[in-house]
Chain A
Amino acid sequence: MVTIFTTPLATPAQLSTSPSQLSGIPDPVEQKLRLVACRLIQAAGILMELPQPTISTAILLLQRYYLTTSLPSSPLLQTCLASLYLSSKLTEHAQKPRDLINILKYLLSPASPLYPPHLLPKDSEETTEKKRSNKHLYYVSEGDYTALKSLLLSTEAKILRALGFNTTVNLPYTLAFNYLQALGVLSHSSPPKSPSESPSDPLQHPKLVSTTFAYLTDLLSSPSQVYLTHHPHELAVAGIYLAARDHGVKLPERWWEVWDVERETLGFLVVVMRGGTYVGDKKVWIVEEGVWEEVEGGEVVAIGAESVEREVERLRNL
């Protein structure tokens, strides 16, 4: 049984005014940077074959950290690196700083699928694929590596201090799985004797788990940051609710009450989950330094401290 009561939660005051906003970063800029951080961490985690709990933990550590620390005082790249590094240790999947740095630098290079295609060099005849596969595009020099590693390590210490060393992250995945089992909607939970007695539809229900998990993972990058305000069992119930609806699986009346989730809480979470991410379906391209701009079908976010500063300045002068 997962200890659900020990998850540290944000206070309303912490959520309404962030340190970044206090230091002059407008809310939309902060939200976009947070979203980009989620994308980077998720992508890096997948490339490194880290389990989703390790990735999710990194994202949540980063979100909690920015509740007490401003973006200018802890720029995004080093914070992504440190969050992943820390979560890999906390979840017993420790990674080397070297590997993390290589992957993150790759993800920010022109070789990366996250890099805006219109910024790729235009002159050559090569296809986009070819351009992206060029190895020297993401080569990390020894000097860069040393500098980034020391930033990674000092940011790790800063994160731990900012969180009061409470790194407890209780994710909703296992709970959601247990709840689905308890609801008896997973296939094979009790083998049917005849078709009419079939307690579940085995062709339909296996997807229930993956859809539930997908909702829960999507929710990590939601601008509402409900992982910071809600208990894991509440998130789990909301994920199941939507997944069951998607697959047309009928659940018992008021089943969420078994897990002490208020209908109002569930309603709120369902609305948030359906709301999607801040940018909707638009594509977000990521570069390290550059210009924030709207381009066809998406937008470019430049995460480097100077680029962020320039964007903030531009918005101020609008």
Chain B
Amino acid sequence: MSSKPKSRWDTETAEDAAEAARRKAEKEAKKALKLEKAKKAEEEAAAAAARRRHEDEERHAQQSLAVSDEPPSKRRKVSAEPDEDAAASPRRKKRAPSTANGERDTSEARLLRFPAPEIKPCNSVDDYEPLNRIEEGSYGIVSRARHIATGEVVALKKLKLEGETDGFPITSLREIQTLMAARHANVVNLREVVVGERLNQVYIVMDFIEHDLKTLLDDMPEPFLQSEVKTLMIQLLSATATMHTNWIMHRDLKTSNLLMNNRGQIKVADFGLARYFGDPCLPLTQLVVTLWYRSPELLLGAQKYGTAIDIWSIGCIFAELILKEPLFQGKSEIDQLSKIFELMGVPTDEEWPGWRRLPNSKSLRFPRTKQTTGHLLRSKFPLLTTNGVSLLSSLLSLDPSKRITAEEALKHPYFRDDPKPKSEAMFPTFPSKAGQEKRRRLNSPSAPMRGDAPQLFGEVGLTGRSGLFAGLDEEEVGGGFSLKVH
């Protein structure tokens, strides 16, 4: 080539060829985008309808304000093409002119006309009348309350802000941010954040949900039916899929953080450990997820982990829905790992390449024998169908990179087998414990404490081997299966 490179727009012939290719690519991109957008809009519409009582007309006006302030002469400048696209013109004419509230008559334009959230100050907690305490968790106190203006019963979670010296804690910022962003029919609805007079009085207002799944499972005389388990799993997986596509990891999925109403719906709650994740992922704290629901890579001290940790927890929840009790009830991190390997087998290097290089693997000695997992899982869940066992083992894949994703799991044949998922309306109702009194809570480990959660100035991870297996130099025995610690 002797001449300097030319733009493809320089020669007619090049332009023609490029044009054709571009048009095709553009069409495809357009199609994909439209689909994506339509889906998004649908989700948004559902969420918006559910959470907004009255539409705010004012906000509709702002866009048209911007438009109508613009003199026509300036608009012309925008046109990249000197003559109007003939094909597009009639379509534009069909479009109703912008009205005062910005409504357009094409459905395409309507997609973007959802009122954006307002920028407005917090309401006062005095808008609510306290009814009763529900539960004191590790991060806050949850109460039932009545919204005085509407009479609606809500749940108020008071954030624990006492003793904060660095302002508003980053964990609480994440909790509010992620809960706001994770709008879904199966995520507890955040109504607003209200405040008291003192600067450390901050409350998250949520819809009140009658039960939590943990208490429910403890109190039910009979476990859920297979058809019910399927419905609950679909709900949990689709909520999780939405979180994950929005770059949110929950990091504390467990039955006590899953609320359930009397209409057969579960709602993921407690975003106290949730956070946004990036791509590529950065080192994050390993002290997340309540022990019994914690994935093997976290137990082994992986500093980089992803959404697969939530999927592991979902696997544990799936099993718990069937067994009516938690699947892996470890007494310590090492015991937890033993219980996991006991059921799922010790991974081979083929099954999970690189797992022996994880920080905590080095200090452990594992039995040589390779277990066959399918057999053990199957006998532990004799009533589960083949597809059910297959889904469970995909959720509980030891290698996080081989673990199924929430999207994929939703398409699993298990959900198409008989018995079919039960319709939400057919779910039985249960008496609400939270309605009258504190929820009874059987002994179970709680989420890692605030002090362990990500700190303000950079992530605090485990340095070396402190914490996890520290102080354990003898053999820890977990259910007839042992791991040696070195």
Contacts and interface: CB of A to CB of B under 8 A. Distances in A.
Given A201-B5, A260-B37, A11 B199 contact: no
A271 interface: yes
Contact of B36 (A1, A92, A226): A1
A146 B70 CA distance: 49
A259 B18 CA distance: 22
Interface in A245-304: 248-255, 258-260, 262-268, 270-271
Interface string A58-73: 0000001001100000
A254 B85 contact: yes
A157 B109 contact: no
Nearest to A204: B7
Interface stretch (B59-67, B327-335, B336-344): B59-67
B221 interface: no
Interface size class of A (residues with CB under 8 A): 35 or more
B180 A260 contact: no
Contacts of A271: 70, 74, 77
Contacts of B14: 196-198
A264 B75 contact: yes
B225 interface: no
A156 B168 contact: yes
A162 B121 contact: yes
Given A3-B246, A90-B177, A263-B75, A254 B1 contact: no
B245 interface: yes
A253 B81 contact: yes
A251 B75 contact: no
Contact of A198 (B5, B170, B246): B5
A199 B119 contact: no
A184 interface: yes
A254 B78 contact: no
Most buried by A among B79, B80, B122, B245: B80
Most buried by B among A5, A12, A161: A5
A230 B67 CA distance: 11
A268 B70 contact: yes
B6 interface: yes
Contact of A9 (B9, B11, B119, B193): B119
A156 B167 contact: yes
Interface in A173-203: 182-184, 195-203
Nearest to A247: B7
Contacts of A162: 121
Contacts of A47: none
Given A197-B17, A254-B88, A262-B109, A166 B119 contact: yes
Given A9-B116, A196-B11, A258-B30, A167 B66 contact: no
Contact of A258 (B29, B98, B109, B119): B29
A252 B192 CA distance: 43
Contacts of A267: 70, 74-78
Nearest to B66: A268
B245 A1 contact: yes
A175 to B, nearest CB: 12
Most buried by B among A14, A204, A228: A14
A15 B23 CA distance: 41
Contacts of B26: 183-184, 252, 255, 258
A14 B17 CA distance: 51
Contacts of B449: none
A201 B428 CA distance: 65
B69 interface: yes
Nearest to A169: B177
A251 B116 contact: no
Contacts of B116: 5-9, 231
Contacts of B199: 154, 157
A195 B62 contact: no
Given A90-B173, A168-B117, A157 B167 contact: yes
Given A94-B458, A167-B173, A255-B26, 13 more contacts: A6-B180, A184-B25, A198-B18, A228-B119, A231-B116, A250-B80, A258-B26, A260-B108, A262-B67, A263-B75, A264-B70, A266-B78, A267-B70
> 5 nearest interchain CB pairs?
A165-B193, A9-B116, A267-B78, A267-B75, A8-B117
26 contacts: A5-B116, A8-B117, A9-B62, A9-B116, A11-B62, A13-B58, A90-B177, A153-B166, A156-B167, A161-B195, A162-B121, A164-B120, A165-B176, A166-B180, A182-B29, A199-B22, A241-B78, A241-B80, A252-B22, A252-B23, A255-B26, A258-B26, A260-B37, A265-B63, A267-B77, A267-B78
